[in-house]
Amino acid sequence: MHKKVTYVCLVCDIRPLKDKKYRVRLTVGGDEIEYFGDASSVAASIATVKILLNSVVSTDETVFTTADIKIFFYGSLLPESKYMELHLKIIPIEIIAQYNLMDIQANGWVYINF
């Protein structure tokens, strides 16, 4: 069975003002993911933004909060695109042993369904 595979990118960050100063995370190569739906999002007009901000600054004791939606289209991805490859050299030995990854690796790579 043929599946489309994307890559993994390690993102390392040092955030000196945070409690957890060092952060390492994996991101999936989004440029390799096929999505055939409309991936655009509609932006608010400048008039809407001005009305919103004016309302916030002109109202006493107002709190303004925003949210960042990181995985907005994740649930809509096609099954053929939901595989990534991860090289064994970046996986800790304890994890390799715990999940018997040596038994399922191919040429040093592990393929993960996400």
Number of domains into which the chain is organized: 1
pLDDT for position 104: 93
pLDDT for position 74: 52
How long, in residues, is the chain? 114
Residue-wise pLDDT tens digits, 31-80: 777 667 776 777 889 999 899 889 888 888 888 887 666 655 555 555 45
State the residue range of the domain holding 40.
5-113
Q: What is the mean pLDDT of residues 83-94?
A: 89
Provide the whole-model pTM. Answer: 0.52
Cα 107 to chain centroid distance, Å, stands at: 26
CA atoms within 13 A on the CB side of 48: 4
Residue-wise pLDDT tens digits, 7-33: 888 889 999 999 989 988 887 776 777
Q: How many CB atoms lie within 10 A of CB 85?
A: 15
pLDDT for position 59: 85
* Residue 91 CB-density burial (10 A; 0-12 exposed, 13-18 middle, 19+ buried): middle
Alpha-carbon gap, residue 59 to 63, rounded angstroms: 9
- Give the closest residue to 90 by CA, choosing from 12, 33, 20: 12
